[in-house]
């Protein structure tokens, strides 16, 4: 499982790479990310609901 710290470090590294991209390339990358999120929307929302339910039990 990926930790929050690992995700943050990966995001920081990716942001450095993206800074050398053109606006069109950055937009394409963001669109690809959005597409993946939409493709996994049901799973993401289900996992979020599980987290909410677990938090309510604490």
Query: pLDDT by residue (tens digit) across 12-46?
Result: 888 888 888 999 998 998 999 999 999 999 999 99
Measured CA distances, 48 to 12, 34, 43, 52, 58 (Å): 24, 18, 9, 6, 16
Q: Residue 35 domain-assigned? A: yes
Terminal CA-CA length for the chain: 23
Q: Domain of 27?
A: 21-58
Q: Residue 51 domain-assigned? A: yes
Q: Residue 14 domain-assigned? A: no
Q: Residue 2 domain-assigned? A: no
**Measured distance CA(11)–CA(19) in Å, rounded:** 12
Domain tally, the chain = 1
Q: Residue 26 domain-assigned? A: yes
pLDDT for 31? 96
Per-residue confidence band for 1, with pLDDT thresholds at 50, 70 and 90: low
Q: Residue 1 domain-assigned? A: no
Q: b or e along 27-50 (b: 16 or more beta carbons within 10 Å of the residue's beta carbon)?
A: eeeeeeeeeeeeeeeeeeeeeeee
Q: Residue 3 domain-assigned? A: no
């Amino acid at each position: 499982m990926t930790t929050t710290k690992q995700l943050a470090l990966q995001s920081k590294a990716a942001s450095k790479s993206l800074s050398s991209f053109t606006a069109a390339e950055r937009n394409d990358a963001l669109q690809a990310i959005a597409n993946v999120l939409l493709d996994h929307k049901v799973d993401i929302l289900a996992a979020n609901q599980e987290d909410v339910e677990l938090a309510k039990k604490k």
